[in-house]
Chains A and B, each alone.
Chain A
Amino acid sequence: MNRPNVVSVGVIVWLSSELMFFAGLFAMYFTIRAVAPQMWETGPTLLNIPFSSVNTAILVVSSLWCQFGVFAAERFQPRRTGGLLDFKRWGMIEWFVLTYIFGAIFVAGQVLEYAELIHKGLSISTNGYGSVFYLTTGFHGLHVVGGLIAFLMVIGRAFAARRFGHAEATSAIVVSYYWHFVDVVWIGLFAVIYILK
């Protein structure tokens, strides 16, 4: 290979602009907190830290499964060569399905968390804290959902292609870039919203 892959470079440039999108959300969070610090005396006490820590761990682990899927895609191996539980011989599809399941559990956990918070009386229109909490975590959640759709497309392409080649591997690799990015952003959001408070 004697030149960078244009798709990969394009995705990285786009992800750097996504970083700025989330910078805007962080700016919003810190601005509201500076203007109305009294909301932070009651708001964060409603958060269920152990639950969201487990949910965070699920998302971080899904990034690991995604990377194993990329290694399989780089070997041009879409399907498993052994039994279903013989994970050492798994192909890209098996790893990406596992990633999809973990990502879907994360989104479901977040929906559960939202339901619990609304039950406790914190909704997006309650106060400034509710607004920034749901906007930051909600926009991140939408990104996770977008990533899940992207995984479905990549898996679909692996089934549609007669021969798993560079085009299929490239789409798997760039979706993994996106997934790792969304994962890192969540670690930042989790640190600011749940730990730093």
Chain B
Amino acid sequence: MYPEKLKYLPSHLWVDIETKNIIKIGFTRYLAGQLGKIFLIETPKAGERVSKNKNLITVLTPKGKVDFPCFASGKVLEVNSSVLENPDILISECYSNWILKMKIQKLPRLLSSKKYKELIHV
């Protein structure tokens, strides 16, 4: 449910650390369950710089809208176009579909799988 090879943010994003400051991010199973279905996902474009605490991802679901703030300043290297075209795969296959590949200045404090499960009371 919450792979140990990944790290987690309290905002329910998983983080896959490729190198020291290059990461991929996606939605956790918990978040996917909360959202249920996704109509639309908005992200910065590849090459765009992003600032900490500014909005990074916006998701529109049948019932609501969720903004995900940026957890670290950096640059978007790549956007997974398949999730923009078919955002529901973030619900059905949340760990095999990343959303953004980013180069960040400094890794934020990340949670282990165990700590994340404690956070969501699993």
A and B interact: no
Residues on B facing A (Cβ under 8 Å) = none
